[in-house]
């Protein structure tokens, strides 16, 4: 029994380690880490200012009047940003909540070269798929480097420039009506139940840590191909380690059973 408990304990430690792998990507020659450091319960600073689609300066905090899905992208992204926005666009059709009444969506570009005109062009993709009243409650913002840094630093979103592109994580954040960070959802596609519950909890001001960060861990930026690719080596190594530990535990359990039978006889 002691051996069995020992084996089970090892398995739990390995699983916990795999789930807590930091979402960090690096390009050769760059030491800055790229990924998410969850800042749950952090309040968005009140003085952060961006430009809306009409080029008018607006305080981000004043726009957050209900549970908010916050997406950080850059408009010329050749990789996962369009997929992320498409994933958000898809899931809001399925969660059973009304955009503009129950919640809102705010997209902020972290590229200070992006312009309000670029916001308008990006938003047209959303307008084609959704009715105008709904689209008006999905706000696109641009800004300068200082305000971008203030926001990304506040929510723990770490990115860095790689040539003409950026290395960055794939994640959406959910904010309470008071601008408090309550949830992080990783990847480029989202389960309707997860998003709905995150918005309901945000309305109540309840925060919840993320357990599964595997989707973000599995992708890295390829600067030559200008795209994000699946990190097959890391995934394969993770699977091999998992099954090796599982086999080790099975052998321990079998050995324990044989000893028990021998002692009983």
Instruction: Dump pLDDT digits (tens) for 33-51.
Output: 788 999 999 999 999 999 9
Domain check: are 257 and 149 in the same one?
A: no
What CATH number should be reported for the domain holding residue 136?
A: 3.40.30.10
Q: Give residue 230's pLDDT.
A: 47
Q: Give residue 117's pLDDT.
A: 94
Domain check: are 252 and 130 in the same one?
A: no
Q: Are 77 and 116 in contact, with CB atoms under 8 Å apart? A: no
Residue 53: Cβ-neighbour burial (10 angstroms; 0-12, 13-18, 19+) = middle
Q: Give residue 214's pLDDT.
A: 47
Q: Give residue 26's pLDDT.
A: 38
Domain check: are 158 and 248 in the same one?
A: no
Domain check: are 59 and 84 in the same one?
A: yes
Please work out, in degrees rounded to the nearest 5, the angle formed at the alpha carbon of residue 176 by the alpha carbons of 171 and 182: 50
Q: What is the rounded distance in angstroms from the CA atom of residue 39 to the CA atom of residue 22?
A: 14
98, 139, 141, 144, 243 from 147: Cα distances, Å: 30, 17, 11, 6, 46
Residue at 182 is within a domain: yes
Residue at 24 is within a domain: no
Residues of the chain with pLDDT under 50: 1-4, 6, 8, 11-32, 132, 214-223, 226-233
The reply to whether the predicted model has a pTM over 0.75 is no
Domain check: are 9 and 79 in the same one?
A: no
Q: Give residue 128's pLDDT.
A: 62
Residue at 20 is within a domain: no
Residue at 27 is within a domain: no
Q: Give residue 237's pLDDT.
A: 57
Domain check: are 49 and 138 in the same one?
A: yes
Q: What is the rounded distance in angstroms from the CA atom of residue 139 to the CA atom of residue 126?
A: 11
Look at the chain and report how many structural domains it folds into: 2
């Amino acid at each position: 029994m002691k051996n069995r408990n020992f084996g089970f304990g090892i398995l739990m430690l390995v699983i916990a380690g795999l789930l807590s792998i930091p979402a960090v990507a690096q390009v050769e020659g760059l030491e800055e880490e790229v990924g998410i450091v969850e800042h749950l319960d952090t309040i968005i600073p009140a003085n952060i200012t961006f430009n809306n689609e009409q080029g008018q300066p607006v305080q981000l905090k004043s726009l957050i009047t209900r549970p908010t899905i916050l997406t950080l992208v850059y408009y010329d992204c050749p990789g996962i940003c369009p997929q992320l926005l498409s994933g958000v666009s898809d899931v809001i059709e399925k969660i059973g909540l009304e955009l503009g009444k129950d919640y809102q969506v705010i997209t902020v570009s972290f590229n200070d070269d992006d312009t309000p005109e670029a916001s308008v062009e990006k938003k047209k993709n959303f307008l084609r798929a959704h009715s105008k009243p709904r689209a008006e409650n999905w706000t696109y913002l641009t800004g300068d480097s200082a305000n971008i840094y203030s926001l990304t630093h506040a929510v723990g979103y770490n990115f860095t420039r790689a040539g003409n592109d950026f290395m960055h994580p794939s994640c959406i954040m959910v904010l309470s009506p008071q601008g408090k960070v309550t949830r992080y959802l990783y990847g480029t596609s989202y389960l309707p139940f997860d998003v709905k519950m995150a918005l309901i909890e945000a309305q109540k001001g309840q925060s919840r840590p993320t357990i599964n960060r595997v989707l973000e861990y599995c992708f890295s930026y390829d600067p030559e191909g200008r795209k994000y690719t699946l990190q097959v080596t890391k995934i394969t190594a993770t699977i091999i380690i998992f099954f090796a530990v599982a086999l080790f535990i099975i052998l321990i359990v079998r050995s324990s059973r044989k000893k028990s039978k021998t002692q009983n006889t």
